Amino acid sequence: MNTENHLSVIENLRERIRSGEDWYESLLRAVRVWPLVEEELDEERYVYLIGGEALDLLRLCERLYVGIADLVPQEEVMPLIAHDRPPGERSGVDLKALIGQEKYRAYLSFIYGVIVEEMVVHAVIQELRKRRRTSGLTRYDIDLDDAYRYLYGSTKGELVQSFKHEKGLSRRRSLTLTEVKELTYWLFRMRLRNSDKSRVASDTKRALTVLHRYTEARRELGS
């Protein structure tokens, strides 16, 4: 287990950039040795391992940039942090080699447990609508709660309240962006526990198709 102090990680990152190393690859190498699961910084909660196991890579990159903001122009970093777009021609870097196998596995957990899981809901809505049309049932449309009942067994509101109760959160307070990610990963773990493997695989495959279409559309808009 890495026990390097997180402040020394930032200082080493600064030294590499000052010596002329590429800031993006240096940032990813800092991710590799980053020791914290979460922290409070300037009255803001930074969670790097959602559910203690899923690496929110962009959130960690955002945190690391706080420590090098005087060394790297904001306009170079913002496409990465805001849109997951590596700078220049660096999209082809070996991410696994730079952040290490352990962090890479955690990053894949985030991709499937948060990013793909969000798409699972949209894919299921589309599938349920298709089934309804095929059956000739057109009296009412499929809504978000229909998808949540299919996937997780309860409405979204009921699941949010269960999540808040488990985490000790106020029932009346809205979830933060970080807590929404934690909720999504919590739902992902629930789906894995409660659904048979073939159904999980089928729903995930549909979600990956939706995600691919979304990614391609976003790439075309950005080009």
Q: What is the pLDDT of residue 3?
A: 46
Q: What is the pLDDT of residue 140?
A: 58
Ranges 32-46, 99-113, 173-187, 194-208: which has the least confidence: 194-208
Q: What is the pLDDT of residue 2?
A: 46
Contacts by 63-69, CB closer than 8 A, 24 or more apart: 63/39, 64/10, 64/13, 64/27, 64/30, 64/31, 64/34, 65/27, 66/41, 67/10, 67/13, 67/14, 68/10, 68/13, 68/14, 68/17, 68/23, 68/27
- Spell out a b/e string for 144-157, using b for 16 or more CB atoms within 10 Å of the CB, else e: eebbbbbbbeeebe
pLDDT at 216 over 80: no
Nearest-10 Cα torsion for 205, 210, 215, 218:
180
pLDDT at 135 over 80: no
| Paired sense of beta strands 49-50 and 54-55, if any | antiparallel
Token duo for residue 96: 């696994």
Phi, psi of 171 (to 5 degrees): -65, -30
8-state DSSP, 223: -
Ranges 8-12, 18-22, 36-40, 197-201: which has the least confidence: 197-201
- Counts of helices then strands in the chain (DSSP H, E): 10, 4
pLDDT at 12 over 70: yes
pLDDT at 222 over 70: no
How many residues in the chain? Answer: 223
Q: Which residue has better confidence, 217 or 119?
A: 119
Q: Please list the alpha-helical segments (H only) found in 19-170.
A: 23-33, 57-66, 74-83, 95-110, 117-134, 144-152, 156-167
8-state DSSP, 90: G
pLDDT at 214 over 50: yes
Ranges 1-15, 17-31, 33-47, 177-191: which has the least confidence: 1-15
Mean pLDDT of 113-132: 90
Look up the pTM and report it: 0.87
